[in-house]
Amino acid sequence: MPIQLLTEELINKIAAGEVIERPASVVKELLENAIDAGATLIDIEIKGYGRELITVSDNGSGMTKEDAKLAVVRHATSKISSVNDLFSISTLGFRGEALASIAAVSKTIITTRTADSAEGFLIEVEGGKLVSEKTAGCPKGTTIEVHNLFFNTPARLKFLKQDAIELKAIADIVTRYALIYSRVSFRLSHNGHSLLSTTSNEDMIHNITSVYGKDTAKQMLPVSFKSIVAQVAGYVSKPSMLKPERNYQSFYVNGRYVRDEVITQALYDAYHTLLFVNKHPVAVLNITLNPGLVDVNVHPTKDRIKFSNPLKVYESVFSAIRETLRANSLVTDYSIKEENMPFSKFGSSPMPAYSNALPQQSLQPQADAAPQQALSLPIVVGKEMQSTIMHEAFNPHEKVQLSKLPAMKILGQIAKTYFLAEADDGFLLIDQHVVQERALYEKFMEQFSSRSVAKQGLVQPLVLELSPADNSVVMEKAVELSSLGFDVEQFGNNSFILRTVPAVFGRVQAKDLFYEVLNELSDSKRTTLSALNEAIITRMACRASIKGGDECSVPEIIALLKELDKCKSPWTCPHGRPIIIHFSKDEIEKMFRRKG
């Protein structure tokens, strides 16, 4: 076939395919236009899952007759006028493609009126062609009706997903903008049934309540941070309010909903060990920065962007979230619904299958361990903790005053696995294993990061007989082993002498600890050295901590809690499991049916 010029009709349909992929694409483009027009009320009505009819009405500035006719012409826009404008875009729309693309694959009716016009104007476009225009009585603002979407592109219609999935996509995009534009009232309905309704509010938290419910809103923390490069504002959830999927994360740059790996990475890095496996935080964050520092002209859908300095943006988002988490008490409340807890049921085993985690028996308290086995290793505490136990006067009736953790009166130990303490409003149940695990993890991580790991020489060096496979690992990873506190020397073909272990983990038998680390080095699928080292340190901290079945006296409990209180993140173990669960007096009274 010879090369030939495409017809204008075919060009329009190809362009429409890039911008308008599904009914949700139509809703997104019309929503953004309404917001750009200064609307404070946006009403979206859907029929037939968006195939039959999409109507978006707003009370924005409206359009003149001339602008309304130009709006359905490709590359006609009021938002940019020169090449330089592309590098300082402050509006959601700018490409001049949306309405033209929608009109090319549907029957579109636009009714609009400006504030200074006595009457409105209506145009009707079918398949990209203007079929009628006339004056019309209507309120200020714009109403756009999109009938029979993809009627002239049956191939596109055939590739739409199931009705429920298409409707969910529509609801999702409306929700994203309803969360961030709290001063705009949004209404969404399908076949006459209301799906979403928000009211105009000053604070985003009201819309988070409307969209995600009161239980989620109560667990959200406000974020407010400003750096030289960016301002970060919004809300993130406590680690006790986690979801099984990432759909509850919404990121915006200058008010534009985006999907961006830089922001996502900063979010997860900020939470770090506060997250349990396969659980995700809730986040609604708006990053405001100079429009010249971000390129939004990357993709026709405008939800992919590029930062001129992604590292600075990462640092701003990371710092904003990290400072918020550190400034708040993150004790888990028992009242949080089960779906958000990192266990299938309180007190049961962790949710399974995390390739980076320790063996399951090491993660959970060993309550069923034989007492003589559990007590075969004494509870070993650091010098500071020993000083606390030996020299501080202990009054069982006084509360322990802590800086990060809530003040509490220690009542004792339950099943040799949990500490029980009374707080101002109820009581606290504390997992003894993860108390020490977090403290050991942070202490050793600090030593490792500063390359000052304290080593403990073995009075009697150990001779280790290794398999040829393990032999090769030790030979290859000798430097890494030394940096972790293990000094080994070859002693024959497959024999090695172990001379030192990390001093922090002195409670564990040297051979057992070494083999734990060797297994991680041998079997790990981690692709980066930092991830591997962290996994090893996490594994050693878990192995060296007290277990279920170890008895603790009240002074020992207090000493352990004071060590935990010094941690930067004393709320979860390195795997993301909660350390403390708070039972409020109100919840207790509900359990006993004293309250409704």
What b-and-e string marks burial along 294-332, b requiring 16 or more CB atoms within 10 Å of the CB? Answer: bebbeebebbebebeebebbbebbbebbbebbeeeebbb
Rounded average pLDDT over 175-195:
94
Q: What is the pLDDT of residue 367?
A: 35
What sign does the dihedral 137-143-144-148 (CA atoms) show?
negative
- pLDDT by residue (tens digit) across 386-438? 554 444 555 666 788 899 999 999 999 999 999 999 998 889 999 999 999 99
Q: Residue 219, class by beta-carbon neighbours within 10 Å (0-12 exposed, 13-18 middle, 19+ buried)?
A: buried
Could you tell me if 426 and 331 are in contact, meaning their C-beta atoms sit under 8 angstroms apart? no
Delimiting residues of CATH 3.30.1370.100 domain(s) in the chain: 455-544
- pLDDT class for 208, splitting at 50, 70, 90? very high
Which residue did the predictor score with more confidence, 374 or 583? 583
147 versus 548: the higher-pLDDT residue is: 147
| Among 33-47, 92-106, 134-148, 242-256, the least confident range | 92-106
Q: Where in the chain is the domain with CATH 3.30.230.10?
A: 215-328
pLDDT-based confidence at 179, cuts 50/70/90? very high
Confidence of residue 50 (pLDDT cuts 50, 70, 90): very high
Q: Is the pLDDT of residue 376 over 50?
A: no
What is the percentage of the chain residues whose pLDDT exceeds 70? 80
Judge whether residue 347 has pLDDT over 90. no
User: CATH 3.30.565.10 residue ranges in the chain?
Assistant: 8-197
Name every residue whose Cβ is closer than 8 Å to that of residue 390 and which is 6 or more positions away in sequence: none
What letters, b where the CB count within 10 A reaches 16 and e where it falls short, cover 425-450? ebbbbbbbbbbbbbbbbbbbbebbee
The least confident of 322-336, 374-388, 435-449, 513-527 is 374-388
Reported as a pLDDT band with limits 50, 70 and 90, residue 356 is very low
Reply yes or no on whether the pLDDT at 565 is more than 90: yes
Reply yes or no on whether the pLDDT at 241 is more than 80. Answer: yes
Q: What is the pLDDT of residue 337?
A: 53
Rounded mean pLDDT, 217-225: 94
Buried b (16+ CB within 10 A) or exposed e, 550-577: bebebbbbbbbbbbbeebebbbbbbbbb
> What end-to-end distance do the CA atoms of the chain give, in Å?
78
The arithmetic mean of pLDDT across residues 572-584, rounded, is 90
Predicted pLDDT of residue 325: 93
Least confident of 101-105, 339-343, 506-510: 339-343
pLDDT recorded at residue 338: 45
Kindly tell me if the per-residue pLDDT of 354 is higher than 50.
no
Torsion of CA 230, 235, 241, 244, to 10 degrees: -60
Banded model confidence at residue 4, pLDDT cuts 50, 70, 90? low
pLDDT of residue 89: 63
Specify the pLDDT at position 425.
87
pLDDT at 20: 83
Query: What is the reported pLDDT for 362?
Result: 33
pLDDT at 202: 82
* Span of 181-185, 249-253, 339-343, 406-410 with lowest mean pLDDT: 339-343
Percent with pLDDT over 90 in the chain: 41
The count of other CB atoms within 10 Å of the CB of residue 491 is 14
Domain 455-544 matching CATH 1.10.10.10: the answer reads no
| Mean pLDDT within 160-175 | 92
Is residue 175 within 8 Å of 195, Cβ to Cβ?
no
In tens, the pLDDT along 303-312 reads: 788 898 999 9
Q: Under a CB-based contact definition with an 8 Å cutoff, are residues 162 and 169 in contact? A: no
**Whether domain 215-328 has CATH 2.130.10.30:** no
Averaged pLDDT, 104-112: 94
Contact 475, 464 (CB under 8 A): no
pLDDT tier for residue 519 given thresholds of 50, 70 and 90: confident
CATH architecture, domain defined by 8-197: 2-Layer Sandwich (3.30)
Q: pLDDT tens across 532-542, in order?
A: 788 888 888 88
Mean pLDDT of the residues in the chain: 82
Domain boundaries 338-436+551-591, corresponding CATH code: 3.30.1540.20
Question: What pLDDT score does 341 carry?
Answer: 47
pLDDT at position 99 is 87
Q: Is the pLDDT of residue 594 over 70?
A: yes
Identify the band that residue 344 occupies on the pLDDT scale cut at 50, 70 and 90.
Answer: very low
Q: Give 318-348 as a 3 state SS string.
A: HHHHHHHHHCCCCCEECCCCHHHCCECCCCC
**What pLDDT was estimated at residue 302?**
66
* Across 518-525, average pLDDT: 75
Q: Which of 28, 39, 91 is nearest to 63 (CA)?
A: 39
Residue partners of 123: CB distance under 8 A and separation at least 6? 68, 69, 72, 109, 110, 130, 132, 133
Q: How far is CA 498 from the centre of its chain?
A: 42
- Spatial neighbors of 485 by CB under 8 A, at least 6 apart, are 453, 454, 455, 456, 500, 501, 502, 503, 505
Is pLDDT at 345 greater than 50 in this prediction?
no
With residues binned 3-state (H G I as helix, E B as strand, rest as coil), the percentages for the chain, rounded to 5, are: 40, 25, 40
For residue 277, name the pLDDT band (cuts at 50, 70, 90). Answer: confident
Q: What's the pLDDT at 378?
A: 44
Least confidently predicted of 32-41, 101-110, 484-493:
484-493
What mean pLDDT comes out for the span 196-215?
89
The pLDDT of residue 298 is above 90: no
Q: Where in the chain is the domain with CATH 3.30.1540.20?
A: 338-436+551-591
**What confidence tier does 269 reach under pLDDT thresholds 50, 70, 90?**
very high
pLDDT at site 473? 85
Instruction: Say whether pLDDT at 85 is over 60.
Output: no
CB 267 within 8 A of CB 283: yes
pLDDT at position 373 = 36
Going by C-beta distance under 8 Å and a sequence separation of 6 or more, which residues neighbour residue 54?
23, 26, 27, 30, 44, 45, 46, 47, 145, 146, 149
Strand-pair partners of 410: 421
3-state helix/strand/coil string of 367-407: CCCCHHHHCCCCCCCCHHHHHHHHHCCCCCCCCECCCCCCC
Q: Which spans in 261-305 are helix H? A: 261-271
Q: Is the per-residue pLDDT at 23 higher than 90? A: yes
Quick one: pLDDT at residue 359? 32
The Cα 309–Cα 89 span in angstroms is 17
Between CA 564 and CA 384 the distance in angstroms is 12
Output the pTM of the full model.
0.76
Give pLDDT, residue 371: 34
Spatial CA neighbour of 394 closest among 555, 596, 541? 555
- Which is more confident, 26 or 383? 26
